[in-house]
Amino acid sequence: MKKSIISLLLGILFYTVSSAAQATNSGYVVESTPNSSYASSNSITGLFNNLQKKEQKSAQSIASDQYNSGLKNIEAKKYLAALRDFQSACNGKHAAACTEIANWYKTGKKIEKSLEKAAFFFEKACKLQGAAGFTACLNLGELYKAGEGVEANADKAKAYFDEARRGLERFCGEKYPEACTSLGSIFTLALGVERDFLKASVHLNKGCEHGSGVACYRLANLQLFGMDGIPRDRAKAVKYFDKSCKAGLWAGCQRHRDMTATTSEEDTPFRDN
């Protein structure tokens, strides 16, 4: 299909140039309709642009299919097959796939740990941007801050943290609740910003409301232990642990079960004198 369209476009171009040359050589004056050449050029450019968009959409679709195949292989515990799928999707510029590979290398849970490779794939995902890409920027900033897998560089770490924060602020919402979770981490861990538990709780609450189990879990801990500006509230902590459980986070289910079976003093980090 692509070759036939290109052949057609080249044929149109050749015919136009050839006809004009023949008319000039024969001594005739060729009068063009106002803007006719401009219109022809625009038509050809439009066809090329449409073809390019179709190819790009097709490549994105293939990468998404490969990424989803990787997720299914993880469920089936076929980790090598999943890794191959993620690598293919990452090569197809799928940021989430690149981030997934980076996390595998960072943790070493499914493949041999390599912080150098983790940094490589986090950087690749970061350049692709999007919700997953900006989360990768955040992880890459942490590696530069700690000097893990890369040479420690505070300036680079700050630049990646800032890029991640600005990007995640655009994506945080119903469609990308995990972007809100990552924003919560930025303010909780003071990654390129002043530590601010109140701001963290705002982002975590938004992520929790839109279905992020991790956001609910972290929000529950803020309420349970009490942080600067956030008073302890055991009832709210129980509620958020329950929400994290219902969102599919096993750790939330465990914490909710433990808390509903204990007294308030048993689950606090310290006792008041």
Tens place of pLDDT per residue across the chain (273 aa) = 444 433 432 343 233 223 333 333 333 333 333 444 444 445 555 544 554 554 555 778 899 999 999 999 999 999 999 999 999 999 999 999 999 999 999 999 889 999 999 999 999 999 999 999 999 999 999 999 999 999 999 999 999 999 999 999 999 999 999 999 999 999 999 999 999 999 999 999 999 999 999 999 999 999 999 988 899 999 999 999 999 999 999 999 999 999 998 655 445 443 333
* DSSP H or E segment with residue 228: none
Q: What is the CATH number of the domain that holds 269?
A: 1.25.40
Q: What is the pLDDT of residue 109?
A: 87
For residue 229, tell me if it sits in a domain. yes
Beta bridge partners of 176: 172
What string of DSSP letters covers 51-63?
HHHHHHHHHHHHH
- The per-residue pLDDT for 131 is 94
**HSE of 190, CA atoms in CB hemisphere, 13 A:** 3
Place of tokens 């999707």: 89
Q: Is residue 99 part of a domain?
A: no
For helices 130-146 and 95-107, the axis angle rounded to 10 degrees is 30
Residue 81, in any domain of the structure: no
In a domain, 222, yes or no: yes
- Print the domain residue range for 231: 201-273
| Residue of 94, 96, 107, 67 lying closest to 83 (CA atoms) | 67
Q: Which residues pair with 88 in a beta bridge?
A: none
Q: What pLDDT, on a 0 to 100 scale, did the predictor assign at position 227?
A: 87
Which pLDDT value is given to residue 49?
A: 57
CB 201 within 8 A of CB 184: yes
Please tell me the predicted confidence (pLDDT) of residue 229.
86
Q: How many independent structural domains does the chain possess?
A: 1
Quick check: is 143 in a domain?
Answer: no
- C-alpha distances (whole Å) from 92 to each of 56, 63, 123, 167 are 10, 5, 15, 21
Q: Is residue 262 part of a domain?
A: yes
Residue 223 lies in a domain: yes
Q: Is residue 176 part of a domain?
A: no
